Amino acid sequence: MRMTLPQTPSFRLEGRRALITGASSGIGLGAAVALAEAGAAVTLVARHWAALETVRDAIRAQGGQAEALALDITDLAATAAAVAAAGPFDVMVNSAGMARHAPALDTTPEDYDTAMALNLRAAYFLTREVARGLIAAKRPGSLIHVSSQMGHVGGPDRAVYCANKHALEGMTKAMALEWAPHGIRVNTLCPTFIRTPWGEQTLKIPERRAWILSKIKLGRVGEIEDLMGPVVFLASDAAAMVTGTHLIVDGGWTAE
């Protein structure tokens, strides 16, 4: 009797539309390229049109499907209108984020509010609008936030950053529970320090680089490519039973 073997679910994303914020550089750019390579039609979101146009054209030159949308997601009304007009999106990767690191005793209300406005408030309402479109269209989806290992541990000069990333993790769990009946999965991707233009600001400080490398058990800083496979996994049918949780890509930082 011939045995019937299980089949690996597909990592391919043909026929799906993906919205990626922070897509003009760094982790967001890597996510956009990865999803396009997997077959998704990607919509690239960031504030600056020229940078978005460059990324869009590069993805198209490789045979991918890409559109660009200049948008500041902290403008909640403009974001809701844009998502309603361009959606629904089967996949969302929210990679927009910022930090103003400082000792907790030196944190200004202005820096606190600016970081929270993008990293948490904008993330909350962006996710809501993407989910609203999916529910109205009766379509399942995968909504992914680029969080951080700092959403699970603490770090020097990072009280505000840790606060909004820990909150993002809780928000993700609650939304995952609420939207699971609609087939909408919500997860976070939690990288360690990644070599991006933003990350290099910390890595170029010798004592901070030494501290970082002492915590990453694999002995190196992360690269954008280290996150591209995990993004595709979370977006695809291969992660069909993964929701309300986090995928930590930290080289062993949080294992101890």
Q: Which residue in 161, 179, 233, 253 is the catalytic one?
A: 161
CA–CA separation, 32 and 25 (whole Å): 10
Helix (H) or strand (E) holding 61: helix 49-61
Domain ranges of the chain: 17-251
Residue with tokens 């897509």: 23
State pTM to two decimals: 0.95
- pLDDT mean across residues, the chain: 96
Q: What pLDDT, on the 0 to 100 scale, is given for residue 201? A: 80
Helix (H) or strand (E) holding 142: strand 141-146
**What own/partner pairs with CB < 8 Å and gap ≥ 24 does 103-108 have?**
103/156, 103/157, 104/157, 104/159, 104/160, 107/159, 107/160
In this predicted model, what pLDDT tens digit does every residue of 10-69 receive, in sequence order?
999 999 999 999 999 999 999 999 999 999 999 999 999 999 999 999 999 999 999 999
Structure token pair of residue 45: 């979101």
> Which CATH fold would you assign to the domain 17-251?
Rossmann fold (3.40.50)
Cβ neighbours of residue 168 closer than 8 Å, sequence gap 6 or more: 119, 120, 123, 145, 147, 151, 188
112 catalytic residue (yes or no): no
In this predicted model, what pLDDT tens digit does every residue of 95-123 receive, in sequence order?
999 988 899 999 999 999 999 999 999 99
Q: Please state whether the peptide bond connecting residue 206 to the residue before it is cis, i.e. omega within 30 degrees of 0.
A: no
In this predicted model, what pLDDT tens digit does every residue of 208-237 receive, in sequence order?
899 999 999 999 999 999 999 999 999 999
In this predicted model, what pLDDT tens digit does every residue of 153-183 receive, in sequence order?
998 899 999 999 999 999 999 999 999 999 9
Task: Annotate 222-251 with three-state secondary structure.
Answer: ECCHHHHHHHHHHHCHHHCCCCCCEEEECC
Q: What pLDDT, on the 0 to 100 scale, is given for residue 196? A: 87
User: Residue range 230-250: average pLDDT?
Assistant: 98
